[in-house]
Structure 1
Amino acid sequence: MNAYNHPAIQYYQDVSEQCIHYLSIDGVIFGFHENQLKVLLLRWKGTTEWSLPGGFIRKTESVDVAAQRVVRERTGLDELYLQQFHVFGEAERYDQADTWARTKLPIQQVNWSERTISIGYYALVEYSKVVPTPDFLTEECCWWNVDDIPPLLFDHNHIVAVALSSLRRQFADQPISHLLPSAFTVPELQRLHETILGQPLDARNFYKKLMASGTLERLSERRAGTPHKAPYLYRFKPTDI
């Protein structure tokens, strides 16, 4: 294929015409599965290189709407919890020549900006509801354990680290119910807390504080197929907000 006819060229030409210059969205999509905090990554076509989902802000949409669109296109979810957590605006964020060479795109044919400022959003989603979907520049979209993320394109490893740090700082104020199925056990909820906070918690103290908070409702069902006595299932009580 002639480099000038490459679909990436048309894409970046459309971006130049339809989107705000020098400004982008990067999304850190968190899920929780098999007692592991996970993040959704994209593998670029014809490479072994991975990156976060991202995109540009159309001239006709707000920043928040752009972030919702970027995450929706990769997850298939319409109802999303998103939190803007940081603006990445260092003068030199990464080695552009090396990064674009790794993507194997004919980016040298594009009048690309020397500097782009990125607005970071993290999303909390229920793993089982996500349909991971690549875009036309990538051929694989899948979950990675947050502790096993490979070296990413651009400065995306740094973005993931900042997102995780922000989530931990704001943990008490975040609706973590978005990361869980509608019914779960107390040990599963404790493991979610431990995974995000990065430290073990005393099971007795965790249970006491949880019950004292009044945020949970015990269901009549129990979790079947466990090696010990089947634990009760719980759900978060509905709120007026």
Structure 2
Amino acid sequence: MNSISELQDFIINGHKHYMPHISIDAAIFGYHDHQLKILLSGYKALGGYCLPGGYIKRTETLDKAANRIVAESTSLTDLYLKQYKTFGDPDRIKWSELDFEKFSKEIGLPYIKDSWLIDQTISVGYYALTDFSLVTPKAGLLSDSCDWFNIDEIPPLLYDHDQMVKDALHTLRTQLYYYPIAEKLLPAKFTLTEIHAVYETLLGKKLDIRNFPKKLVFLGLIKKLNEKRNIGPHRAPFLYKFDLKKYTKALETGTTLT
């Protein structure tokens, strides 16, 4: 969490720089070595976790704000980032008067009635994908912590963030069949077993190791190199790499991987 003076200025004057009642919440998924995790922000004052998020500067586009918020949480830029849903039901309250009063008391700030942070808030959901071993998580302006959690061991989340995670994961897994979004999770040169493991882990299901990588080769998204990796006695699989021209086109237009 930032200094008391920074927080106080944000709470009192933030509406001058940020758009009230609309925020961005990012489901940041991390893959590494057959593990899938999600990044969560902790709020001691509220007794729980949320997706990393923030408000949109009056000078920003939605995508620019999302990239900034994700970069602030991960210390990385240029991650794969996609808007997936807007959450704006009439009974959706991000901050209630009671929450805000409790939060102010916990962090040692005077309670400001009718703050711009209170009332119904629309949230624009984005998901991002990265290698979690490269991330240096950083708490946001209002949060106390930022940590990775295994996708199957997520603690109960505040507000409607449980549903946000479910929707983000569903969108990610659906789009994996149409967009080759796993490129940044692999080294520049990789084996078919490695790319197969990435897709299996992200999808949370078994894939036919004989056919799925061959589909990527058939579509021309990856190409075989005249190089091998020695991984043990009598084991030296060929290496592959993405065809970046075809990969970029597939990201833009989509292609069926099933």
Q: What CA deviation, in whole Å up to 9, does each residue of 1:37-67 have, x standing for no partner?
A: 2211122357762221100011111111111
* 1:109 aligned residue: 112
Counterpart amino acid of 1:165?
A: H
Give the Cα separation in 2 of the matches to 1:221 and 1:30.
Answer: 30
* 2:252 aligned residue: none
* 1:235 aligned residue: 241
* 2:229 aligned residue: 222
Deviates more, 1:161-170 or 1:183-192: 183-192
RMSD: 2.9
Please state whether the residue corresponding to 2:159 is helix, strand or coil. coil
Q: What CA deviation, in whole Å up to 9, does each residue of 1:144-185 have, x standing for no partner?
A: 221211112222121111111111222222422123332333
- The 5 A counterparts of 1:110-189 are 110=113, 111=115, 112-171=117-176, 172-189=178-195
- The 5 A counterparts of 1:34-53 are 34-45=33-44, 49-53=48-52
Q: Is the contact made by 1:8 and 1:137 (CA closer than 8 Å) also made in structure 2?
A: yes
Q: Is the contact made by 1:37 and 1:192 (CA closer than 8 Å) also made in structure 2?
A: no
Give the Cα separation in 2 of the matches to 1:83 and 1:107.
Answer: 38
Counterpart amino acid of 1:22?
A: H
The normalised TM-score by structure 1 is 0.83
Return closer, same or farther for 1:200/1:228 CA change in 2, 3 Å cut-off.
farther
Q: Is the contact made by 1:223 and 1:232 (CA closer than 8 Å) also made in structure 2?
A: no
Instruction: Compute the displacement of 1:96 (Å).
Output: 4.6
* 2:73 aligned residue: 74
Q: Is the contact made by 1:221 and 1:233 (CA closer than 8 Å) also made in structure 2?
A: yes
* 2:56 aligned residue: 57
Return closer, same or farther for 1:19/1:169 CA change in 2, 3 Å cut-off.
same
Counterpart amino acid of 2:67?
A: Q
Q: Is the contact made by 1:185 and 1:223 (CA closer than 8 Å) also made in structure 2?
A: no
Give the Cα separation in 2 of the matches to 1:42 and 1:205.
Answer: 39
Q: Which runs of 5+ in 1 are unaligned?
A: none
Instruction: Compute the displacement of 1:100 (Å).
Output: 5.3
Instruction: Compute the displacement of 1:227 (Å).
Output: 9.2
* 1:195 aligned residue: 201
Please state whether the residue corresponding to 1:217 is helix, strand or coil. strand
Return closer, same or farther for 1:227/1:73 CA change in 2, 3 Å cut-off.
farther
Give the Cα separation in 1 of the matches to 2:179 and 2:229.
Answer: 28
Please state whether the residue corresponding to 1:40 is helix, strand or coil. strand
Return closer, same or farther for 1:116/1:48 CA change in 2, 3 Å cut-off.
closer
What is the identity percentage for the equivalent residue pairs of Structure 1 and Structure 2?
A: 39
Q: Is the contact made by 1:32 and 1:180 (CA closer than 8 Å) also made in structure 2?
A: no
Counterpart amino acid of 2:55?
A: F
Return closer, same or farther for 1:228/1:201 CA change in 2, 3 Å cut-off.
farther
List structure 1 runs of 4+ shifted beyond 4 angstroms: 45-48, 94-108
Counterpart amino acid of 1:182?
A: A
The normalised TM-score by structure 2 is 0.78
Q: Is the contact made by 1:99 and 1:153 (CA closer than 8 Å) also made in structure 2?
A: no
Return closer, same or farther for 1:100/1:186 CA change in 2, 3 Å cut-off.
farther
Give the Cα separation in 2 of the matches to 1:157 and 1:122.
Answer: 14
Return closer, same or farther for 1:67/1:227 CA change in 2, 3 Å cut-off.
farther
